[in-house]
Amino acid sequence: MPLKLIKNSFNAGELSEYMAGRTDINKYHNGCSKLINATVLPHGGVVKRPGTEFIGKSPNKCNLFTFEFSVDDALILEFSNLLLRFYKDDDRVFETDVEIASTTAADPVLVTTDAAHSFADDEWVFIEDVDGTTGLNDKIYRITVTG
């Protein structure tokens, strides 16, 4: 039968291997030999470490780096082959929204806008809130500018 043990104090954190068997020291009873996927809190407790969240798929192998402009302003930079993308607040950073005027059911789909935009060939766009052709919604597309 497994033994369930409650530890009221965890203020010794992860102990060195040199502490093994040192039951005569108080910290021995307030720590552990190995702590996996957990964070020791400054006031003595321990919690599960925060996990990760799937934000999006990268088209290539990539490296992620944190860029902290200030204490309140940080970005994740995704570097891959000939591509640099930015993430903030658990979402990709895109340009200003452009209103979609119409779409076609052709393959490939043709999306037109009434407003001017600064898009260029082989850029990536995120399409959302399209009425009618709802199959386009909430997806990322590589574009070709036709005019």
Q: Are residues 105 and 82 in the same domain?
A: no
17: in domain: yes
44: in domain: yes
Q: Are residues 71 and 87 in the same domain?
A: yes
What does the pLDDT look like over 104-131, one tens digit per residue? Answer: 877 888 888 887 777 788 887 888 887 8
For residue 82, pLDDT beyond 80: yes
147: in domain: no
Q: Are residues 75 and 106 in the same domain?
A: no
63 band by pLDDT with thresholds 50, 70 and 90: very high
19: in domain: yes
Q: Are residues 105 and 87 in the same domain?
A: no
pLDDT at 62: 92
- Total number of domains constituting the chain: 3
Q: Are residues 20 and 42 in the same domain?
A: yes
Whether this prediction's pTM lies above 0.85 is answered by no
Residue type, 143: I
Query: Cα angle vertex 119, ends 103, 123, to 5°?
Result: 90
Q: Are residues 70 and 42 in the same domain?
A: no
Range of the domain at 36: 13-48
Q: Are residues 104 and 80 in the same domain?
A: no
53: in domain: no
Query: E strands of the chain, at which residues?
Result: 13-14, 31-32, 38-40, 46-48, 62-70, 73-80, 83-88, 91-92, 100-103, 111-113, 124-127, 139-142
Q: Are residues 115 and 132 in the same domain?
A: yes
Cis peptide before 108 (omega within 30 of 0): yes
